[in-house]
Amino acid sequence: MQKRKLLSGLLGLTVVLMVLGGYTAAVRAQTSDQIDYWRTKYRKLTFKEDPRVERAHTIFQRLVQVAGKRPGTVPQLFIGASAASEPWGIVLPIALPDGWIVLSSEVLDICYQDSAWGDDRLAFVLAHEIAHQLNDDFWHMRLPPALEKSTMAPPVALAFIEEIASTAEHVLARELKADMSGILYAAMAGFNTRVIVTEDRHRNFFVDWVRALDRRRLGGVAEEHLRPTPAERAEVLRENLRRIVDATAAFEAGLWFYYAGDYQRAIGAFEYFRAVFPSREVLHNLAVSHNQFALQAYQMWKKDVPLPFQLFRAIDPLTRASQRVLEGPRRGDTGVLSTPAAQFRQHLDKAIALYREALTLDTAYTPAAVNLGGALIVRGVHTETQGLKADFYDAVTTLQRALEHAPNASATPALLNTLGVALFYIGQLEQAKAQLVQARTLAPAYAAPVFNLGYMAHAAQPHTNAQLSWPAYQQRVTQPSLAFPANGQHQEQVMGRGIGAVENRIPPEWGSPAKSTFLVEKKAFTMATYPARIMTLSQDGEILMLIVREGYQGASARGIKIGAADKGVLAHYGPPSRQSDTTYGNNWTYDVDRIAFQLRDGKVVSWLLF
């Protein structure tokens, strides 16, 4: 009797381990850590059967782009329908060592019980499993083989389960670590992580997750007998989540500052986030912010002398904030370099160091490699040395290595363009031309290689071949309009509130916000997330920036709504004054209108007022 009671208790613990680990299969069906096993047991769910499958794959790819991958593995997602012959009939998410993550349609049902937050909840579930993969953490794979062997003698099975049980605290620590990483990955990919563990103690995702399961499938173990209970786990996460949410708010604010061209504040916000989570993504964003700040300093330093080649989409126009910093120290200012030339060199060196650091975390991270190559070229051009310069050779090596690892054709033209410029500077002119021609062939609308070919032709034979390339370049480049809206007729607002509004006078229809506070340059900023799909960034009670996200029902001043095509934005606002790539899309900034549109797959997913 006592032995039976002990075994019952340990089986209860086994259920806890399954729930904590997001363990993902019926207890007696677990035998393999390879995807082929799961394909034989569970039928693949198709896009046509369930439209949520396509959303799940889209969410998964966004998360992978942010989180990265383990060397030698290609992250992939398998969504299965529970097999009719499987009496337990449930597959919870599981990370496999071969790079696959498996989940079932029932996971989609649970996440989308509240359809408004379904994407955000599923993003966290998938990000949690991605964290296990990145940590090379597959502790849960030890349990299934032993339990599936029905011929295992009870004493042997009991001893095995006792061994696993003895590491429960270690397992819990691993799961909480995956929770934290999952929160961060989901936030960095643009999902609302505040809905995972809400301020409402009667409504949080972890408790909903377990209560949605059929207790009979869990061996009849009552929720109150699980230790730690889902509620206890959620409470542990809640206490730690405040600091994590503050950090993710800083990451989001860093992106907003970047879109607005305020690179000094973007650097401060990303540095705040870096102290909590020094990921590949934040290192790259921090590097790009230093890089763009260096190019703004270059503008003030060299005035009307442009960079000879096009390595970046554009040098951003000077903002009031950046102009103040670049003009040098004023009374009361400290720690500001005295000249734009000095700031150019300092920030460019910092960008190069950070790009390298991002590449140490993921050697195949193409954006960091392209930008590192470009930064090395710029530094080489402005380094006073005799003969060929090491930076140029370093750029060639970096870009050629990146070309070997380029994940897709869309990343290749930018690599080839920058590589062509680097080869030009080390004297390999024919190879340089070949790379630029290939970049132009792969992306006919890409203007940079056309411009660079024209520059090379001009350098070889002034006033001849260059004239042939310039019209082709002009056809690919449209100049943004710098005309101000007449009489303020297009002043941007969101539900009657704009930049400079007082935070405590927000309309009640926005709902009650969740708030996070963080420091940038020793100044406190507050980010508020409203149920109306609106977020604000405030300082001293005044709204500095405001963004609307997917689900917002209103329109911009010129009639653009969430989901509008990029062609519609061009028709209503014209060419953007600045463009930049993000992890999962593009950003178009209109400095005159003080609005920036974020696009994914050619459609507007949010816009920012600044």
Following CA atoms 262, 267, 268, 270 in sequence, which dihedral angle do they give, to the nearest 10 degrees?
120
**What per-residue confidence (pLDDT) applies to 331?**
42
pLDDT at 468: 47
Tell me the C-alpha to C-alpha distance, in Å, between residue 577 and each of 225, 402, 528: 60, 29, 28
Give one word for 231, left, alpha or beta, with left for phi > 0 and alpha for psi -120 to 50: alpha
CA distance 569 to 575: 9
pLDDT of residue 478: 55
CA separation for the pair 228, 63 (Å, rounded): 28
Partnered with residue 538 across adjacent β-strands are 526, 543
The alpha carbon of 389 is separated from its chain's Cα centroid by a whole number of angstroms, namely 35
- Name the phi and psi angles at 83, rounded to 5: -70, 140
pLDDT of residue 224: 54
In angstroms, the CA 95 to CA 130 distance is 7
User: What pLDDT is recorded for position 349?
Assistant: 97
CB 607 within 8 A of CB 586: no
Q: What is the pLDDT of residue 212?
A: 55
pLDDT for res 372: 96
With tokens 């002398």, the residue in question is 305
pLDDT at residue number 98: 83
Q: Where are the alpha helices (DSSP H) in 382-507?
A: 390-405, 412-425, 429-442, 447-460, 465-476
> Which domains does the chain possess?
2-246 (no CATH), 280-476 (1.25.40.10), 487-609 (3.40.33.10)
Q: What is the pTM of this model?
A: 0.74
Phi/psi for 294 (5° steps) reads -60, -40
Low-confidence ranges of the chain (pLDDT < 70): 1-32, 82-92, 137-173, 197-204, 206-242, 312-338, 386-387, 407-411, 462-490, 583
**Per-residue pLDDT at 7:** 35
C-alpha span between 62 and 59 (Å, rounded): 5
Q: State both tokens at 137.
A: 């953490």
Residues 265, 268, 271, 277: is their CA dihedral positive or negative?
negative
For position 66, what pLDDT does the model report? 84
Query: Exposed e or buried b for every residue in 221-259, given b needs 16+ CB within 10 A?
Result: beeeebebbbbebbbbbbeebeebbbbbbbbbbbbbbbb
For residue 305, count other CB atoms closer than 10 A to its CB. Answer: 9
Q: What is the pLDDT of residues 375-400, one digit of tens each?
A: 999 999 998 876 678 999 999 999 99
